[in-house]
Amino acid sequence: MTSQPQRPAFGSVLASHMAVAHYQSGAWGAFELKPTASIEISPAAHVLHYASTCFEGFKAFRRADGKVHVFRMDKHIQRMRQSAHRLALPEPDAAQLAEMVRVVIDRCREAVPEAPGALYLRPLLFGTTPNIGAAATPPNEATLMVLASPVWDYFTGGLKPLRILIDDENVRSPAHLGMVKTGGNYASAMGPTLAARSKFQADQVLFCPGGVVQETGAANFLLFREGHMLTRSLDSSFLHGVTRDSLLTLADDLGFRPEEREFDVAEMLEWAKNGEAALSGTAAVLAGVGTLIHRGQEFRVGSGQVGPLTQKLRAHLVAIQQGQIEDRHGWLQPV
């Protein structure tokens, strides 16, 4: 057996270059491509006090022939514009942001890892207006950056089944902001996630406010059973994952019956007896859940291992992303 090379933790290393644009006097200026380095910011910058920030995360893949393709960039840019809008931040121009991403990928081409690695792209937007009295005034100056990071596995255990704590007391985010990819939502999930880790050795918390299943701190949640896939229908309370959307489409292609609707913890535990559960996201791809923990009691999901339907869908999505099977939905763009 060959041993796995030691990889840096997900997101801990940045590629050599980043793109930066500034918004001032009602318009975005031209962007610059720069060596990745620290930035200077006023201590009064709006973001540092009032959390006026949002971000995105998606991947570019290197194929066996060396060509690099980016996965569903337009959908991520659309989500970033929506996040900015909901936070009263200046919306990035879609064409400019796409060009910033392409220029960064092109400059960092050598840093795109071989499959199963990828180059993770991280657009980031934040309010820079220097005014500590602007709690109820949106920033009229902002910075947009695109960072890149070579990545491998998100969960350090690779394909190990996850332990998930069901939390029906806390909320991950305010109900109108769950669909916004903003730092405050992650800060809000941190306390419950750390407690779940130390008390139950849980990998993640599945937030289920009022007993209705929602999502985890950094991924959407799906159930599978007998050719059937179930996930919560979209509303403003959770992030509209691009991976979730891709999997719903692929489920249909592969003959699974996809269903989007609300379901509660009791129904989820019933499904888990002889079904499968998984988390979906750009970073996690599709990660199988082996154990659900609810009010101190452990429930095994199916066999307790990553299930065959989860593995099949994951393998199908990864094969499309890596160019091994046809991209029938036009999700990949060459860069």
Ligand X SMILES: Cc1ncc(COP(=O)(O)O)c(C=O)c1O
Residue whose CB is less far from ligand X, 77 or 218: 218
Per-residue contact string for residues 43-62; x = within reach of ligand X by CB under 6 A? --------------x-----
Residue 1's identity, in one-letter code, is: M
Q: CB–CB of 248/260 below 8 Å?
A: yes
The residue among 303, 273, 298 whose CA lies nearest residue 288 is: 303
Binding residue for ligand X, selected from 243, 310, 321, 322, defined by CB under 6 A: 243
**In the chain, which ranges are E strands?**
17-24, 27-28, 32-35, 53-55, 58-62, 68-71, 118-127, 142-151, 162-167, 204-207, 215-216, 220-225, 228-231, 257-260, 276-281, 285-294, 297-300, 332-334
Binding residue for ligand X, selected from 129, 214, 282, 291, defined by CB under 6 A: 282
Q: Is 215 in the site for ligand X (CB under 6 A)?
A: yes
Binding residue for ligand X, selected from 147, 242, 272, 278, defined by CB under 6 A: 242
Q: CB–CB of 126/45 below 8 Å?
A: yes
**Least distance (Å) from ligand X to the CB of residue 59?**
9
Query: By CB under 6 A, which span of 125-133, 156-164, 228-236, 274-282 interacts with ligand X?
Result: 274-282
Q: Is 93 in the site for ligand X (CB under 6 A)?
A: no
Residue whose CB is less far from ligand X, 45 or 287: 287
Query: By CB under 6 A, which span of 42-50, 236-244, 270-278, 320-328 interacts with ligand X?
Result: 236-244
Query: By CB under 6 A, which span of 92-100, 211-219, 256-264, 302-310 interacts with ligand X?
Result: 211-219
Instruction: Give, for 242, the enclosing helix (H) or strand (E).
Output: helix 242-253
- Dihedral angle computed from the Cα positions of residues 228, 232, 233 and 235, in that order, rounded to the nearest 10 degrees: -170
Residue whose CB is less far from ligand X, 111 or 242: 242
Q: Is 239 in the site for ligand X (CB under 6 A)?
A: yes
Q: Residue-wise over 39-49: b if at least 16 C-beta within 10 A, else e?
A: eeeeeebbbbe
Size of the site for ligand X (CB under 6 A): 13
**Least distance (Å) from ligand X to the CB of residue 34?**
26
Q: CB–CB of 196/202 below 8 Å?
A: yes
**Least distance (Å) from ligand X to the CB of residue 14?**
18
Binding residue for ligand X, selected from 90, 192, 241, 290, defined by CB under 6 A: 241
The residue among 173, 277, 180, 182 whose CA lies nearest residue 232 is: 277
Residue whose CB is less far from ligand X, 73 or 242: 242
Q: Is the bond preceding residue 116 a cis peptide, omega within 30 degrees?
A: yes
In the block, residue with structure tokens 């620290």: 38
Q: Is 281 in the site for ligand X (CB under 6 A)?
A: yes
Residue whose CB is less far from ligand X, 129 or 231: 231
Backbone dihedral region for residue 11 (phi beyond 0: left; psi -120 to 50: alpha; all else: beta): left
Query: By CB under 6 A, which span of 82-90, 149-157, 241-249, 259-267 interacts with ligand X?
Result: 241-249
Instruction: Give, for 314, the enclosing helix (H) or strand (E).
Output: helix 308-321
**Least distance (Å) from ligand X to the CB of residue 215?**
5
Binding residue for ligand X, selected from 220, 231, 321, 322, defined by CB under 6 A: 220
Which of helix, strand or coil describes residue 100? helix
Per-residue contact string for residues 159-198; x = within reach of ligand X by CB under 6 A? ----------------------------------------
Q: What is the Cα–Cα distance from 65 to 16, expressed in whole angstroms?
A: 23
**Least distance (Å) from ligand X to the CB of residue 169?**
18
Q: Which residues bind ligand X (CB under 6 A)?
A: 57, 215, 218-220, 239, 241-244, 280-282
